[in-house]
Amino acid sequence: MKKIKNILLLISLFTFQSLFSIETICQEYPELHSFFDSQDYKSRAPKNGIKIIDTGIDGPQGASTNIEFREKKMFFEIVISKNLIDKNILTAEELKFIICHELGHCNDADLLKKVVPITVALFACKVSVCWYTVWNLLKYKTLSAKHVALSGCVFMGCELLKNKLNRDGEYFADRYGFALTKNKEAAISMLNKRKKMSKKKYSYLPKFLAQLLDDHPTEEDRINVL
């Protein structure tokens, strides 16, 4: 399901369907005019700004931060689902917290220094394992149990480390958003709405294992770090 949502998001980005700006948000949430005019927002806003796109995604999970690389530089943009604005799913303060949360991702210094290089390294590691597996199959026409086990451990280790980095990034963005809004009640309310409207991945697994495999922390854990 997540892959389908990402594909819809990419289609919208490249075809510019229903593409709007901050004015669209302020039409539905006039209370946020002062926030977008404030130095708190302007000094932290990504160069590519905020885009509202018709992705069909409802709920607080309909907001994300995209990274674009141009001329050896990294540019951020905040993407918000049009449904999230049109249906007034969130209060103005809850939406403000989500935007400030995404600003946290845009201004996370560790993202460039640590997360991006490690993610690239993990991807390269996976590609290397795949190449080595194909080479073994072509040369020996079979794979040993040792090779299969080793490949599985490498893939699982890469995924677990990537998920840990993603979860740390979410905690950072939540704290960043709270520091800007100073409204813990709105943050908790938004996270509770997200919990009700989101289908939890790996719900069939024990809680500890599900949290380990998920790239997002639970809403309860996110509330606890605020």
User: How many C-beta atoms surround the C-beta of residue 9 within 10 A?
Assistant: 19
Return the C-alpha torsion angle 214, 216, 219, 225, nearest 10: 120
Q: How far apart are the C-alpha atoms of 65 and 124, rounded to whole Å?
A: 23
Whether 43 and 116 share a structural domain: no
Beta strands in 15-72 (DSSP E): 50-53, 63-70
Q: Does a structural domain hold residue 104?
A: no
Mean of pLDDT over the chain: 83
Whether 122 and 169 share a structural domain: yes
Structural domain range at position 23: 2-90
Q: Give the number of domains in the chain.
A: 2
Q: Does a structural domain hold residue 102?
A: no
Tell me the mean pLDDT in the region 41-48: 89
What is the structure's pLDDT at 99? 95
What is the structure's pLDDT at 152? 84
Q: Does a structural domain hold residue 57?
A: yes
- Diameter of the chain measured on Cα atoms: 67
Quick: pLDDT tens for 155-167: 888 888 889 988 9
Q: Does a structural domain hold residue 99?
A: no
Quick: pLDDT tens for 96-148: 999 999 999 999 877 767 777 888 888 888 888 888 888 888 888 887 887 78
